Amino acid sequence: MLSKKLEEALNEQIKNENYSAYMYLAMAAQCEAANMKGFAHWLKAQAQEEFSHAMRIYDYVNERGGRVRLLAIDEPPFEYGTPLQMFEMVYEHEQKVTGLINALCDLARSENDYPTQTHLNWFVDEQVEEEASASEIVETLKMIGDKGHALVMLDRELGKRGQ
Ligand code: MG
């Protein structure tokens, strides 16, 4: 059985993962409107991945005999500026999520809940990947600067995600 404290914290993280999905989908919507189809594709895939993270925790809470509570998801921003500003925000957001996962690990450890610690290890590894891929796109966008043709190339590259 999960402790009440851990159950609440995991429900909070289900909401956080869904907020990430919602924010990446809002970013994708801006890219669709700007005809940046590759960026939109990458961000929609990212949104789906975040929803799958929420579901991983959802399934885990149920497996441990806890009760899932779906908390309200905030409205994400509507405008994200330039592609560079947008991906700087993705990178910052993923660093924030890493902090949230670390705090959950601390809580699971202080509650002596070993299965939850093991479950969270997957998320610890996942965050390393998330930060690395966001940071790589930020660095590429910095190199691109205002070279429109290079941005078109990156758009094509991002459009290949999952293929
Ligand atoms: Mg996530």
Distance 18 CA to ligand 1 centre (A): 8
Distance 17 CA to ligand 1 centre (A): 5
Model confidence at 52: pLDDT above 90 = yes
Model confidence at 163: pLDDT above 80 = no
Distance 147 CA to ligand 1 centre (A): 31
Distance 96 CA to ligand 1 centre (A): 11
Can you read off the two tokens belonging to residue 68?
């899932």
pTM summary value: 0.95
All domains of the chain, ordered by start, with CATH? Answer: 4-158 (1.20.1260.10)
Q: How confident is the model at residue 1 (pLDDT cuts 50, 70, 90)?
A: confident
pLDDT digits (tens, 9 = 90+) for 7-19: 999 999 999 999 9
Q: How confident is the model at residue 59 (pLDDT cuts 50, 70, 90)?
A: very high
Q: Which residues neighbour 32 within 8 Å (Cβ) at sequence distance 6 or greater?
A: 40
In this structure, what is the dihedral angle of CA atoms 92, 98, 9, 122, given to the nearest 10 degrees?
A: 140
Distance 53 CA to ligand 1 centre (A): 5
145: left (phi over 0), alpha (psi -120 to 50) or beta: left
Distance 52 CA to ligand 1 centre (A): 8
